[in-house]
Amino acid sequence: MHAEERAARMRIFEPQTIPGVFQTEGYIRELFRQVGKLPHEIDAQVTARLARRATLAKLNPPSTWTVLEEGALSRLCQLPSEIAAEQVEHLLAMAELPNVTIEVVPISCGLHACMNGPIVLISIPGRGEVAYCEGMGSGRLVTDDQAVLDVECRYDLMRAEAHSPRHSVQVLSDLLEML
């Protein structure tokens, strides 16, 4: 997504998977293998998603806040242990970066305001806020101010259900010990 490259701040939520910008190569390959992609298509997805990760390591990286569903973390336990462990270790390493905050929404919260799909809120200097809302196989960029405010409100309501960043890191550490 071109807007990520210009972002000063990103707020990310994925309800069922690890967000693309935080995915490891093994996780990406497993994810796209499950949907029946051909090897060359998987290679293209790996290249594209790993290139997106560079956004978080550039000279002036965006402040990035991501919320993970506990269910997405639980699904890691169904992957080969080396892939799952690498993914959790990567999340823990990312959480140590000064520009990255990770929170986990526990399954016990039940329904929340972002159940209907992935969202990315992006603050672009000189442009303001935009939102990217994704569905199965498609996505749309939201630029209307009122619609972006609605997405921000849903994101904030969902975040209110999440564990603190410190507790979320502990959830990740506990998961790594189980793998």
Average model confidence (pLDDT) across the chain: 91
Listed in sequence order, the residues at least 6 apart from 66 whose beta carbon sits closer than 8 Å to its beta carbon are 11, 12, 13, 14, 19, 21, 22, 100, 101, 102, 103
Whether the predicted pLDDT of 116 surpasses 90: no
What is the pLDDT confidence band of residue 136, given thresholds at 50, 70 and 90? low
* Structure confidence at residue 54 (pLDDT): 81
- Whether 64 shows a pLDDT value over 70: the answer reads yes
pLDDT-derived band of residue 17, with 50, 70 and 90 as boundaries? very high
Q: How far is CA 166 from CA 63, 70, 95, 109, in A?
A: 17, 15, 9, 18
Write the pLDDT tens digit of every residue in 73-84. 999 999 999 999
pLDDT at 138 over 80: no
- Domains of the chain plus CATH, in order, are 2-19+62-178 (3.30.870)
